[in-house]
Amino acid sequence: MGFFLSSLHFSARCVSKPPPMTTENLNPFAMAQAQLDEAAAILGLDKATHAMLREPMREIRVHFPVKMDNGSVRVFQGFRVQYNDARGPTKGGIRFHPEETIDTVRALAAWMTWKTAVVNIPLGGGKGGVICNPKELSTSEIEEQDVPAPDVYMTPQIMAWMMDEYSTMMGHNEPGVITGKPVPLGGSLGRADATARGGVITIREAAKVLNFNAPEATYAIQGFGNAGQHAARLMRELLGARRLLAVSDSRGGIYNADGLDWQAVLAHKEETGSVVSCPGAQAITNEALLELPVQILIPSALENVITGANAPRVQAKVIAELANGPSTPEADVTLRKKGVFTIPDFLCNAGGVTVSYFEMVQNQTNDYWEESDVVARLDRKMTQSFHDVYRVREAQKTSMSTAAYLVAVQRVAEAMKLRGWV
């Protein structure tokens, strides 16, 4: 084991360009590159800077054995990508997913690079993934995996195991090497709902600049996992938004034109494992949920759910991308023409990495903050970042998505030039 730790020392390599992206072949890394290309053209980046930003600086692909509970040995495949560290050490979690791919990890590492830059924290972007289904693994089998930070199917317990393993290797306690840890082991208060809280803060600021009444706004959440559940609660607590019309998870969705009680929905999911068949609601598909006539749509699941095919039928006025890469570039063009105000993923969901950075700061200074301090600092950071992007949107007469790229890419390119890389 230890391969994700050792990835800090692997050498750079050239990364081949992925195949052309089509509606039928939605390559996530091709999406990330297309988004960068648009920003680079507007910024007038020189060819060397643009070329360097199009590819990961380093990546590793490994196969490693894990002894299963029945005594057999199973070989898993894993990836780690460090996209760009011009602004600081690469930060990014690792995912356990049965359909993980290297291009998904590359794309997520790129988006993490832009995410840390757009909220102006001194980190770069990275990501990792293991092809496995954690639902089929026992606790002891999962503990065999070395992981640096939480993402899909990850828990604070796994972060604690990783921190302990690294500390053992180093011969002394190193809590700052891993974020998303349990609070008793150096984790930060306020981390559990940070991603959703950051997203809801950006929705709050969008309501101000667009001049709509957030408490009366109708909204739907596609993906009722950790982020989606917290978003439902915080929409009510922070914004007073009462009109949650639909939610969904991987098994399906539910809808009520008069509004859903998020607490009742959560209780039903905890009891049954899904929101499906929740009393007092009718069934709806994930696809239909995306096309509901709501004011705010919050996609909180996986990538590529809004495409060129269904974007013309999306009726939401505001899309808050709590998931990574929920809209394809083709969809972005259609949504922009329709006048949809999209809060892009790497701005909307940056609350998680921001509080992870706060956790690193607390570990390094040995000064641990009250939850109210974490929440206040996150609010200031997300509010400032939203308006940094919004000002560029207004100045350039462009979309929030493009404006966010302009802010982030400019910051990373500037750091590369100051270091003398280009």
Q: What tokens were used for 316? A: 């939401």
How far is the C-alpha of 344 from the C-alpha of 385, rounded, in Å? 12
Where b means 16+ CB within 10 Å and e means fewer, 304-342 reads ebbbbeebeebebbbbbbbbbbbbbbbbbebbbeeebbb
| Closest by CA position to 112, among listed 139, 144, 160, 148 | 148
Within 8 A by CB and 6+ apart from 393, the residues are: 399, 400, 402, 403
Q: From the candidates 47, 67, 91, 127, which is the catalytic residue?
A: 127
3-state secondary structure of 3: helix
How far is the C-alpha of 303 from the C-alpha of 133, rounded, in Å? 18
How far is the C-alpha of 188 from the C-alpha of 355, rounded, in Å? 7
Q: Which amino acid belongs to residue 57?
A: M
How far is the C-alpha of 265 from the C-alpha of 243, rounded, in Å? 14
How far is the C-alpha of 284 from the C-alpha of 120, rounded, in Å? 39
Q: How far separated are the first and last CA of the chain, in Å rounded?
A: 36
Task: Specify whether the CB–CB gap between 240 and 215 falls below 8 A.
Answer: yes
- Catalytic-residue membership of 208: no
Task: Specify whether the CB–CB gap between 185 and 365 falls below 8 A.
Answer: no
Residues with active-site annotation: 127
